[in-house]
Structures are given as structure tokens and as C-alpha cells.
Structure 1
Amino acid sequence: MLGLPAHIRACLFDLDGVLTRTAKVHAAAWKEMFDGYLRERANREGTAFVAFDAVRDYDEYVDGRPRADGVRTFLAARAIELPEGTADDPPDAETVHGLGNRKNILVLRRIREDGVEPYEGSVRFVRAVREAGLRRAVVSSSANCRDVLVAARIEDLFEERIDGVVAHERRLRGKPAPGTFLEAARRLGTEAGAAAVFEGALAGVEAGRAGRFGLVVGVDRVGQAEQVRAHGADVVVRDPAELLEAR
């Protein structure tokens, strides 16, 4: 009835871009932060300013990764090395964690000012999953996951939440490593082979494939279906509700 293989017993959902319309909010916050830093650096060193691309750079280096990993990966692509710093660094610190904290302030401001809207099709699918008796978890790299779920009024649809806070506490490697998805399956009492992963980020799709989950569903809302498949998705949909309509 859900358009899923019969052996699937649990569904693990990414947050941004799959359940909520926050991927663009994050991309805009990353661009604001990186452009500000890159412009400051270019002015200081007398070099050309090359802006952060909110589509290409976001998808390739940042989307789906833990915040600090996103900073490291993008800076490495620009051949920029910064001190790691610590998680307590102020947002004006020129460190990996400082830039990450600067981005977090910006995204929280945008969420507070603009609110959070869930995707209606995704909510409909999750409710159908619940009615069918399948287990459900949210798996997100964001440390703000719970706040977003509450703001979108969908927190009650999920039994478990594995987010950036849990990953830090459990010392789980972030996407594209499969550890957070595997932890979600473990908490739901389900083997990876009996769980379906729903991901919108290329790094998250890679994580689903690396964890050998029973099904990896790529949610492509930005027109990159070919890339999503290349990174390991078994099925690509524009919205999870398409699975209900195809049954």
C-alpha cells in the first residue's frame, strides 16, 4: 500500500528538503556566511572574491553533512586551511567551528523570522506509514532538528530522532558515513536491510547505500535525479507521496 518492498519494516527520513522546506533556508544561510567570510578574506589578501554557489557548492560540499564537516569540505575545495577551534568559538572567530557557529546564528534567525513549512506530500506519506504500522525516525545532521520539527508541528509523527546533538553525544560519524541511520534502525529494533532511507542530500544518499539499507529513496526537489541515482538511490521521487500514488 505504501509503494515499498514487502520486507520494509521501518522508514528513516532526512529532515531538510525531505520533510520540511528548510533546505533553501540552510543554503541561503551558508551562502550569507561563506560570502561574508570569502569577501573579507579576499579584501585582506588582495585576491579575487569568488562567491559561494548556493546550488552547486551547497549540494556538493555542504548539504547533509554535519555543520563542521560542511565548513571543512567547502574550504578544502577552495584550498583554504583554518584552525579547528572548538564548539564554543564565537561566530567572529576565523576557525572551522567559528564559521559554523556564524552560519547557525544566521539559519536560526531565518527560521525564527520566516517559520518552517512541512511538505504536505511528505506528511501524508509519513501518516500512511504510521497507519500501516511501520516504525519511523528522523535522521538529520542538524543540531536544530527538534526545533524545526516542533516549528513545523510534525514532531509527534516520529518515534525516534537522531540528529546532530545525538551524533555528538554518541560520537557517530556524520553523513556520508551511515552511522546515524544505523543508530536510528537500532533504536527502532530493525535491521538495516528491513529499513528504507528517504534522503534529499547526496551525502545522505551515499550514507544509505553505505549502510546497506533495504531501500534508498532519493527525494529530488531540485532537478538532480541523475546525480541522486549515481550516488546510490534505488528509487528517485520528487516527493514521497508519489509512492502512494503509484501503488
Structure 2
Amino acid sequence: MLGLPAHVTACLFDLDGVLTQTARVHNAAWAETFDDFLRRRAAATGEPFRPYDPGDDYNRYVDGRPRADGVRTFLASRNITLPEGDPDDPPTLDTVNGVGNRKNVILLQRIHADGVLPYQGSVDYLHAARAAGLRRAVVSASANAADVVAAAGLEPLIEARVDGVVARRRGLRGKPHPDTFLAGAELLGVRPDQAVVFEDALAGVAAGRAGNFGYVVGVDRVGQADALRAHGADIVVRDLSELLGGAGGDPTASGRGGAGTAQAGPEVVR
């Protein structure tokens, strides 16, 4: 009773926004980083300062992408190009990697100060998946995924992890490319068509569809259900608890291009 098709034997979970409530922490760190950069640039060039939008900018350009890709993609939306620099650039340097490292410093400060909370519905789902014998991996663009999983107390429920550190070491392309999810399926010893991808990011859902995974669950925390379906989600839920106990309705019903959103309360997947 996990709301999944019968052929699924493994679960590939994005971390931030799916399992843990760290998406808002990431977004706040991006806002502080980009606004500081844009403010300094406006002062130097005389251009008007236009702040980072934690709604549209985060969802379109940053969410789910590797850190450097997020920097590159957001700045490109403002017609700004920076030198790439090196992955170990200091956070004071205005390069793609330097700006990304600046964001990471801010993120870690916020995580250490405030801690990490998991979504209770996701914890319940992980327990149910383990009890049902499904394999379980985290697939995250974050280089801090190991710290976040540990801080949230999820280590006993996760069998494998593909994160930003692994992706860099193995030369895996980030989402929306499917490389990291494919690596997660490989670690669990399953074919892509046997695995379900759980994602809250548009880029992550697109990666799940591009990898021809057996099922893609979009997790809508911010009111973008239609966009998640448009990017390839088979079903969209607000919380993983909606899939428990049969609340997911007919798991074979595709949500792409039409219905397929599990609603809170008495309604089920339409």
C-alpha cells in the first residue's frame, strides 16, 4: 500500500524538499549570496539592483541543480557571465565556483545554527518502504547530503547515496540529466524501469523522465503541480504520506499533461 506500480522494487529520493525541510534553507542561502553579488555589481556598474526572487528564480534556475549549474543558470537569466574558476575557489572570488562556495558557507552556517528537520510523512514512507522490502537511495545534487541525512536522523533508512561529491568524483552530469539517478539505481542493483524517482524540483522530475524510470513522483511543496506534471511526473502529491494506505489511488494513472494530483483531505488522485 505504497501508491506505486507493482513492478517498482526501488525508491530513489531527492533529499532537499522531498525528505528534509532544507529546501527553504538552501533558498535562503541562495538569496543572501545572489543579492550580495547583485548589489555589489549594481554599485560597480550603475545598473539598477534587481534582487533574486526566491519563488520564480529558485524554481526555474536553481532548485535541484548542482551548485555551479545553479550559479551559471541564474546569472545567465540576468545576462551575466562569470569566469568558471576552480572548484576550490575561495568564497570571496567572483567566479562561478567562488559564488557557489560562498553559498555553501552560508548554507552550512544556517544548518549548524538551526538543525535539519525531516518531513514526518517522508519518514513514515521510508519506514513503510523498508518494511515492504523496497531498496532505498538518496540522489541529491548537494555536496552536503551526507551531513543533512545524518542531521535529520535518516541514516538507518537509507541504503545508498549519490550526491554532489559522488557526481564530481565520477564525472556525472547534474539534473536535468539522468546520470545521478541512473547511478543510484546501479548502486541498488536495479534497472531504471524498476525504480521510482521522488522529486520536488522541475529539473529532477525531468531527469527522472529522461532516464526512463519506471515511475516519477512529483512532490509539490510550493504550488507548482502543473509544472511538475509538464516536466514528466506521473503523479503529483503534496506529501509522501498521501501515497500510504492506498491514498495514491490508481498508481498506473499518468499525471503527465492532465490529472494525477493527490489532494489533502478526502479527495484522492483524480
TM-score band (shorter)? over 0.9
Where do residues 186-197 of structure 1 align in structure 2 (5 Å cutoff)? 186-197=186-197
Residue 169 of structure 1: how far off its partner (Å): 0.8
Aligned equivalents of 2:132 and 2:6: distance in 1? 12
User: Any stretches of 5+ residues in structure 1 without a counterpart?
Assistant: none
Superposition map of 1:132-143 within 5 A: 132-143=132-143
CA separation in 2, counterparts of 1:179 and 1:88? 23
**C-alpha separation in 1, matches of 2:78 and 2:223:** 25
Aligned to 1:12: 12
**Counterpart-to-counterpart distance in 1, 2:80 and 2:3:** 45
Note the residue ranges of structure 2 that are not aligned, 5 or more in a row: 249-270
Cα deviations by residue, 1:87-144 (Å, 9 ceiling, x for unpaired): 1111110100000000000000000000000000001001100000010000000000
Q: Which amino acid aligns with 1:210?
A: A
Query: What SS class does the counterpart of residue 64 from structure 1 fall into?
Result: coil
CA distance in 1, matches of 2:75, 2:163: 24
Equivalents in 2 of 1:47, 1:169: separation in Å?
39
Cα deviation, 1:55-111, whole Å, max 9, x if unaligned, reads: 110000000000000000001111001100001111110100000000000000000
Give the structure 2 partner of residue 129 of structure 1. 129
Identical counterparts, % of pairs: 66
Match of residue 220 from structure 2:
220
C-alpha distance in 1 between matches for 2:195 and 2:218: 14
> Equivalents in 2 of 1:223, 1:82: separation in Å?
32
Residue 27 of structure 2 corresponds to residue 24 of structure 1:
no
Counterpart Cα distance in 2 of 1:157 and 1:242: 19
Structure 1 ranges of 4+ moved more than 4 A: none
Partner of 2:236: 236
Aligned residues: 247
**Cα RMSD after superposing both structures:** 0.7
- Give the deviation of 1:206 after TM superposition: 0.4
Distance (Å, rounded) in 2 between the aligned partners of 1:221 and 1:46: 37
Q: TM-score w.r.t. structure 1 length?
A: 0.99
* Aligned counterpart, 2:262: none
